[in-house]
């Protein structure tokens, strides 16, 4: 199973008469895109904007960020189960627009007002301290700002937001259909030298089984309380893993990140060179009683052993203390069964680094790579331009939070900001012991 | 460049006063370097001068902590010293402790830097790791005074940097024991690459260095048991975020910095009154419908009626503990306990989610 | 597990995170009885003479997960 991923770099985006890509320039017919979005009657207002790295622009009510990709050859489509039928993906040829992203900013009247199933959003600045700390501060962002009609259920809100951004992403990627990419890479995990160390990637992510959308979906099906599942790494590249788009807080994940997971690309590129990449074990957390945590930990380790792995890299999502327990127990179960295990993760530590990095740990977690702290504080200067909100309006980033005036200077932490948390090792920010 | 003025702290033995029999010697002063301090002065050359050596008996320090520290601080201040060297204490636990305490106290003086030296397993390092002061450096030394030469050389290396007003880098680069402060940094390689490199080293049995050393859990002494439960006053507390409906006290859904107590006088269940639940770390639906899940009032009232314990305290204590800062929660805990003690509460049932 | 790591000395095992003192799948009276068992276990913990931290498990059955 091989996937050729062809990259068409975008260095300039502008509005034009037609939607077309040529030599790094992406021209967009705004009216065409607007009519695509308006196909959904649940969207009562929509507008587009372009936000460039360096602009003193603040985007508010951010729900998701997605990279335009389209399948050119091979079974299925990008975002199978959502934009097309459920068909196994990860082979053939897929085109992507590099250096740009579609950001969706959305408002609607929520019906769940507290707890883990409640909606939330984040802030994205294209300049200043925040822009440097997130990958989305360096991409040319086509921003879709929408408002949904009153009375939508939470699940309808997610579906409307997701469909709108995915249709736009697909339409933009479609511009490359007949073109030949300047660069392309072929990915797969076929047979290699059997002497190479056998490595498995355990992708641990939090799901809220009781919520309308559980936070993470596989082929569009929300993952709820299932046990570990074995998948092919190429599936990420075609958007097999997606997320709840009502949840925009920086504490969670963005579709763009699922398509561009640092650790997956690194392992794919090392396959056949320094290691034998056996594949991916998806593991949902967090079980709400100790029994469940122990079973998932045992099962993930056992699955890795059945694959005859010698080593495992484990990652996680969401800075929840409770889900850290599931993941630490998984690291422990792996080590105890003879698998050499590395835990790649952000840490807490407080914003001056004097608090404990973890609230819970196991002695077997002796090989940790830190992607930095999620407790950083940012002083963000006032923007010249706001997208996703009218000047003078205020925003509440999550249920129960204070109301902020985004046109002013803000002091926020990583949970409020889009993309500053590095779950999957794509960045170089870390913390060091002093 | 003006010469760095150094104060050297030692115990009674290294001051030449005497051995174990002189451990109750109070704080004393010697002008210039003493004992091994003379060797240290040689290593420092002209860049720094040990202007005064101060000593204190190990037992005297342990029994008169505050006075000893105060005296030593005054000596350092009067001597215009901006560098303190404490030890080397090697494996001596009492000496290591006093070195760490002196460093902690003097680190608050303006412009002061402190260097202590002791064996990495010396319990004095617990104090050092607890305070996490960035102007205090603990140098690893051997177990016994046979390692004096090496320890002095390491101390001198850092002291000379300080004398030259150079930046002191990371523990790995400079050879000191980390305090456990985590500082932002940017690696030359992304996390994914470092993870693969670390895993391949681990599989091959090659050495690697974890990027997050795990801290030991804090040991909390066990409070004495309740001797006579039938006479006891029991209070209920929770971190699940059960609060008064409408949130009049402005609790946040996470990272709270406050606690409250709310009345449950004459109530025998949480269900009949209107409460809210504000905690963004779990599904609040069940708790909202039946707050007895977080404040087990119905069960506690029944047991109170049956005489299992004497009195259910008429208030419950609450905060929302989601994503909380550990030091903040420690402070809240101490405040809550002070309130409970004033109200003669004997035992607490604390429910957390 | 987290409680023990952070220094709690008398730890009683509850049921599930969203409802530590109860079970939403039980009828009201059974749920209340279960709660009584948990509180009783907590009261026993308060009376136990301990040298070091210990976990106490109430005598209950509940829907796990």
Question: How far apart are alpha carbons A210 and A429 in whole angstroms?
Answer: 34
> Of B222, B226, B292, which is closest to C9 when you measure between CB atoms?
B222
Chain A nearest C-alpha distance from C1 (Å): 8
Q: State which residue of chain B sits closest to A403, comparing Cα positions.
A: B252
Q: Which residues on neighbouring strands pair with residue B240, listed in sequence order?
A: B320
pLDDT band of residue C64 (cuts 50, 70, 90) is low
pLDDT of A89 higher than 90: yes
Question: How far apart are alpha carbons B276 and B245 in whole angstroms?
Answer: 5
Burial class for A150, CB neighbours closer than 10 Å (0-12, 13-18, 19+):
exposed
Question: How far apart are alpha carbons B115 and B176 in whole angstroms?
Answer: 9
Q: In this structure, is residue A89 part of a structural domain?
A: yes
| Fold that domain B4-174 belongs to in CATH | Rossmann fold (3.40.50)
- pLDDT of amino acid B96: 94
Question: How far apart are alpha carbons A125 and A398 in whole angstroms?
Answer: 18
In chain B, domain spans: 4-174, 229-351
DSSP state of A382: P
Q: In this structure, is residue A428 part of a structural domain?
A: no
Question: How far apart are alpha carbons B74 and B68 in whole angstroms?
Answer: 10
Would you say A202 and A313 are in contact if contact means Cβ atoms under 8 Å apart? yes
* B211 part of contact set with chain A, CB < 8 Å: yes
Q: Which residues of A touch B203 (CB under 8 A)?
A: 197, 199, 310-311, 340
Q: Which residues on neighbouring strands pair with residue A59, listed in sequence order?
A: A124, A387
Mean pLDDT over A307-317 rounds to: 98
Mean pLDDT over B162-190 rounds to: 93
Q: Which residues of A touch C1 (CB under 8 A)?
A: 290, 325, 360
DSSP state of C26: S
pLDDT of B217 higher than 70: no
In chain C, domain spans: 2-56
pLDDT band of residue B2 (cuts 50, 70, 90) is low
Q: In this structure, is residue A424 part of a structural domain?
A: no
Q: In this structure, is residue A159 part of a structural domain?
A: yes
Touching C: A residues 359-388, CB under 8 Å: 359-361
Mean pLDDT of chain B: 92
- Count Cα neighbours of A219 within 13 Å in the Cβ-side half-sphere: 12
pLDDT of C58 higher than 70: yes
Give which of A294, A290, A322, A297 is closest to A312, Cα–Cα: A297
Report pLDDT digits (tens) over A377-418.
Answer: 999 999 999 999 988 899 999 987 889 999 999 999 998 999
Length of chain B: 353
Question: How far apart are alpha carbons C33 and C45 in whole angstroms?
Answer: 19
User: The tokens of A31 are what?
Assistant: 């009216």
Question: How far apart are alpha carbons A425 and B120 in whole angstroms?
Answer: 33
Q: In this structure, is residue A427 part of a structural domain?
A: no
Q: Which residues of B touch A286 (CB under 8 A)?
A: none
- pLDDT of amino acid C60: 86
Residue C25 phi, psi dihedral angles, 5° rounding: -90, 0
Rg (chain C; Cα; Å): 13
- Domain extent for A200: 3-416
From residue B111, how far is each of A70, B7, B47, B48, B160 by CA, in Å? Answer: 61, 14, 17, 15, 16
* B268 part of contact set with chain C, CB < 8 Å: no
Lowest mean pLDDT among A191-200, A275-284, B312-321, C22-31: C22-31
> Of B192, B202, B210, which is closest to A425 when you measure between CB atoms?
B192
E-strand stretches of B119-206: 136-140, 182-186
* B189 part of contact set with chain A, CB < 8 Å: yes
């Amino acid at each position: 199973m091989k996937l050729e991923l062809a990259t068409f770099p975008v260095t300039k985006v502008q509005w034009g008469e037609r939607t077309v890509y040529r030599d790094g320039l992406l021209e967009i017919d705004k009216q065409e895109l607007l009519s695509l979005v308006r196909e959904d009657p649940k969207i009562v207002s929509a507008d587009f904007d372009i936000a460039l790295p360096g602009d003193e622009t603040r985007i508010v009510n951010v729900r998701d960020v997605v990279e335009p990709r389209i399948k050119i050859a091979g079974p299925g489509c990008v975002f199978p189960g959502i934009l097309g039928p459920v068909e196994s993906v990860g082979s053939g040829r897929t085109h992507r627009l590099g250096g740009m992203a579609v950001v969706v900013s959305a408002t609607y009247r929520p019906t769940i007002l507290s707890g883990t199933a409640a909606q939330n959003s984040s802030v994205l600045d294209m300049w200043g301290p925040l822009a440097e700390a997130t990958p989305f501060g360096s991409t040319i962002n086509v921003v879709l700002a929408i408002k949904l009609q009153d009375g939508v259920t939470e699940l309808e809100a997610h579906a409307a937001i997701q469909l709108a951004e995915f249709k736009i992403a697909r339409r933009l990627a479609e511009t490359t259909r007949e073109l030949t990419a300047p660069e392309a890479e072929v990915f797969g995990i076929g047979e290699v030298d059997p002497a190479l160390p056998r490595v498995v990637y355990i992708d641990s992510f939090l799901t809220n089984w009781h919520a309308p959308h559980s936070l993470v979906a596989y082929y569009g099906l929300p993952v709820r309380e299932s046990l570990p599942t074995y998948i092919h790494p190429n599936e990420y590249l075609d958007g097999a893993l997606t997320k709840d788009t009502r949840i925009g807080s920086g504490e969670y994940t963005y579709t763009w990140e699922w398509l561009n997971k640092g650790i997956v690309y690194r392992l794919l590129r090392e396959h056949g060179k320094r290691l034998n990449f056996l594949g991916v074990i998806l593991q949902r957390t967090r079980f709400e009683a100790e029994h469940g945590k122990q079973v998932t930990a045992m099962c993930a380790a056992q699955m890795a052993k059945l694959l005859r792995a010698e080593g495992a890299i484990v990652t996680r999502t969401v800075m929840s203390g409770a889900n850290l327990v599931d993941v630490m127990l998984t690291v422990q179960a792996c080590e105890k069964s003879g698998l050499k295990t590395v835990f790649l993760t952000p840490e807490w530590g407080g914003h001056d680094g004097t608090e404990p990095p973890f609230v819970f740990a196991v002695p077997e977690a002796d090989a940790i790579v830190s992607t930095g702290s999620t407790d950083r504080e940012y002083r963000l200067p006032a923007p010249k331009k706001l997208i996703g909100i009218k000047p003078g309006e205020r925003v509440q980033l999550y249920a129960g939070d204070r109301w902020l005036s985004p046109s002013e200077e803000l002091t926020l932490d990583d949970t409020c900001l889009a993309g500053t948390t590095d779950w999957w090792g794509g960045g170089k920010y870390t913390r060091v012991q002093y | 460049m003006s010469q760095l003025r150094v104060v050297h702290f030692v115990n009674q033995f290294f001051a030449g006063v005497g051995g174990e029999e002189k451990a109750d010697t109070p704080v004393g002063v010697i002008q210039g370097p003493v004992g091994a301090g003379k060797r240290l002065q040689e290593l420092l050359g002209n860049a720094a001068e040990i202007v005064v050596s101060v000593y204190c008996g190990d037992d005297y320090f342990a029994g008169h902590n505050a006075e000893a520290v105060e005296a030593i601080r005054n000596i350092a201040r009067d001597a215009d010293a901006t560098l303190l060297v404490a030890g080397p204490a090697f494996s001596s636990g009492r000496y290591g402790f006093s070195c760490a305490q002196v460093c902690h106290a003097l680190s608050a003086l303006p412009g002061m830097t402190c260097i202590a030296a002791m064996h990495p397993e010396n319990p004095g390092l617990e104090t050092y790791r607890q305070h996490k002061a960035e102007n205090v450096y603990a140098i690893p030394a051997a177990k016994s005074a046979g390692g004096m030469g090496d320890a002095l050389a390491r101390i001198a290396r850092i002291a000379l940097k300080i004398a030259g007003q150079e930046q002191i880098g990371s523990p790995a680069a400079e050879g000191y024991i980390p305090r456990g402060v985590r500082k932002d940094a940017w690696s030359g390689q992304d996390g994914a690459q470092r993870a693969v490199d670390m895993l391949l080293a681990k599989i091959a049995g090659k050495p690697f260095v974890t990027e997050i050393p795990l801290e030991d859990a804090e040991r909390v002494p066990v409070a004495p048991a309740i001797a006579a439960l039938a006479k006891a006053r029991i209070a209920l507390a929770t971190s699940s975020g059960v609060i008064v409906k409408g949130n009049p006290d402005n609790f946040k859904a996470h990272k709270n910095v406050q606690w409250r107590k709310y009345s449950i006088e004459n109530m025998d269940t949480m269900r009949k009154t209107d409460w809210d639940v504000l905690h963004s770390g779990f599904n609040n639906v069940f708790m909202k419908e039946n707050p007895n899940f977080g404040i087990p009032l119905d069960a506690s009232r029944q047991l109170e009626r049956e005489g299992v314990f004497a009195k259910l305290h008429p208030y419950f204590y609450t905060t929302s503990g989601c994503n909380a800062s550990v030091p903040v929660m420690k402070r809240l805990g101490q405040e809550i306990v002070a309130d409970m003690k004033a109200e003669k509460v004997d035992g607490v049932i604390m429910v957390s989610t | 597990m987290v409680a023990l790591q952070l220094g709690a000395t008398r730890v009683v095992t509850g049921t599930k995170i969203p409802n530590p003192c109860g079970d939403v799948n039980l009828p009201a009276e059974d749920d209340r009885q279960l709660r009584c068992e948990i509180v009783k276990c907590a009261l026993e913990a308060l009376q136990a003479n301990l040298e070091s931290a210990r976990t106490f498990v109430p005598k209950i059955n509940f829907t796990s997960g």
